[in-house]
Amino acid sequence: MTMNKKNPFFLKSYFLVALLAVSLASFLYIQDIIFKLEETSLMQSRIFARFTSDMFTKNGQNLTDEIIFEEIIQNIKFPIIVTDSLDNPVAWRNIGYLDTIFSLDENPKYQADIRRMISRLDNENKPVEIKYNDRVFAIAHMGVDPLYKRLQFAPFFQIIVSSIFVLIGIYGFLFYKKSEENIIWAGMAKETAHQIGTPLTSLKAWVQILKDKNIDGRIVSGISEDSNRLEIIANRFNKIGSPLTIELVDINQEIEEIIKYFKSRAPQSEGHRIEFVFKSDRRLLVPIDKDLFKWSIENLIKNSMDALKESKNGEILIETRADQNKAVIKVSDNGNGIEKKNLEKIFEVGFSTKKYGWGIGLPLSKKIIEEFHKGKLVLEYTMAGKGTRFAIILPTKTQENEEENSLD
């Protein structure tokens, strides 16, 4: 039970660490953007200072060219193309492969590409006229600053990172709940086996005493058979939470044994009769734990018998067939069916329509088939007053497969 105590602490620690990680990642992300914005601000201040200080000492056009090329274009971080007053491209930066082209005079074939890029940038931002002495000497065509895009992405970044941690946390929580459920199943099963085992040992001793006293053989045989049955049940409970004993067996033979047991105990009076019908066309070799597999089938048959308690002529039909690499087992009855409101609850632990039912038969069968044998147990059909049909699907190996493998 140590695992139960540790898991809640682990989950709390996980969510605390996740919160700190998201906060730290967001802080670093935003700090990086702030740092870049500070760099941009410093660059703009430097350009302004250079522009104003040189304005009075240099020729206007030379001033313009120098600042555009040495300061603005070289240091800018977003896509930009600068054209002269006649709309001829004179400088550009951060526009992909065109950055490697330094002069359109030497490479006129790229003129159209530059023009297309100018049009695209103008769609992103309105062109900015650069004036000196009320005269336009250049036009700046600018794209969106990557920092702006990063700021737009920041909330999504936080949502994505937070969602990842939350999903991992939910998965961990569900895994913990499943582990806890398995521990409860195993603990309950072993305790039940222990409780059955004590009186069972005593009962077997009494059977031996009856044999020694030459009591009616049929009575002794019946008691002995039921005590053996109890021993099987105790062993089954012990197997929950223990390593499985997987064998390749003919499930038809196992089902026949189950039917034989229930037939001898099914009501056969005029007013209440239950008949068993078994349909199978060949051997079905399936890797199973025999005890647990039979337990799951018995639970389905018991459910059918309960549904037929008020039926005059009840019938339980069990069918098996091979379907490619799977075995399909169907257990049907012509009982009173399952109410619509209960359909989603039938595999829930603790749910039962019987007054003193435990509600573990169907959940246990589903656990045995799906978790232990990697198969499937589903409610295939039910209708009020018509009956119910459950289907089990298991990985299979038919007789033909076995013969082929033996020839190999």
pLDDT score of 404: 44
pLDDT score of 317: 97
**Torsion over CA: 176, 177, 181, 182 (sign):** negative
Range ranked top by mean pLDDT from 140-144, 281-285, 379-383: 379-383
Mean pLDDT of 191-202: 58
Cα torsion 83, 86, 88, 90 to 10°: value is -50
pLDDT score of 301: 95
Report yes or no on 386 lying in a domain.
Answer: yes
Range ranked top by mean pLDDT from 16-20, 62-66, 73-77, 274-278: 274-278
Report yes or no on 218 lying in a domain.
Answer: no
Does 32 score more than 80 pLDDT?
no
Angle at CA of residue 271, ends 267 and 277, nearest 5°: 50
Count each helix (H run) and each strand (E run) in the chain, helices first. Answer: 10, 12
Does 339 score more than 80 pLDDT?
yes
382 or 18: whose pLDDT is higher? Answer: 382
Given pLDDT bands bounded at 50, 70 and 90, which one contains residue 106? Answer: low
Please indicate, yes or no, whether residues 258 and 401 belong to a single structural domain of this protein.
yes
Ordered DSSP codes for 165-190: HHHHHHHHHHHHHHHHHHHHHHHHHH
Please indicate, yes or no, whether residues 252 and 399 belong to a single structural domain of this protein.
yes
Give the pTM. 0.52
pLDDT score of 1: 38
DSSP state of 271: S
Report yes or no on 209 lying in a domain.
Answer: no
Does 107 score more than 50 pLDDT?
yes
Does 82 score more than 90 pLDDT?
no
pLDDT score of 48: 43
Q: In which domain, by residue range, is 19 found?
A: 2-148
Q: Could you give the percent of the chain with pLDDT greater than 70?
A: 60
Does 112 score more than 90 pLDDT?
no
Please indicate, yes or no, whether residues 272 and 400 belong to a single structural domain of this protein.
yes
Given pLDDT bands bounded at 50, 70 and 90, which one contains residue 230? Answer: confident
What is the residue-averaged pLDDT of the chain?
Answer: 75
pLDDT digits 0-9 by tens, 33-76: 667 665 664 555 455 445 444 544 455 445 455 555 555 556 66
Residues making up the chain, counted from first to last: 408
Given pLDDT bands bounded at 50, 70 and 90, which one contains residue 408? Answer: very low
Does 91 score more than 60 pLDDT?
yes
Please indicate, yes or no, whether residues 270 and 402 belong to a single structural domain of this protein.
yes
pLDDT digits 0-9 by tens, 133-185: 777 777 888 777 666 666 666 677 667 777 777 777 777 667 766 666 666 56
- CATH of residue 280: 3.30.565.10
Out of 148, 171, 202, pick the residue that ends a domain: 148
Distance CA 237, CA 113 (A): 78
Report yes or no on 216 lying in a domain.
Answer: no
The number of domains in the chain is 2
365 or 228: whose pLDDT is higher? Answer: 365
Report yes or no on 355 lying in a domain.
Answer: yes
Please indicate, yes or no, whether residues 284 and 399 belong to a single structural domain of this protein.
yes
Please indicate, yes or no, whether residues 129 and 261 belong to a single structural domain of this protein.
no
pLDDT score of 389: 97
Out of 128, 148, 168, pick the residue that ends a domain: 148
- Range name among 14-28, 82-96, 266-280, 324-338 with the lowest pLDDT average: 14-28
Report yes or no on 154 lying in a domain.
Answer: no
Residue type, 163: S
Report yes or no on 228 lying in a domain.
Answer: no
Out of 123, 148, 173, pick the residue that ends a domain: 148
Report yes or no on 239 lying in a domain.
Answer: no
Please indicate, yes or no, whether residues 388 and 279 belong to a single structural domain of this protein.
yes
Mean pLDDT of 18-31: 70
Mean pLDDT of 374-402: 84
Distance separating the N- and C-terminal Cα atoms of the chain: 48
- Which of 308, 265, 298, 316 has its CA nearest to residue 364? 298
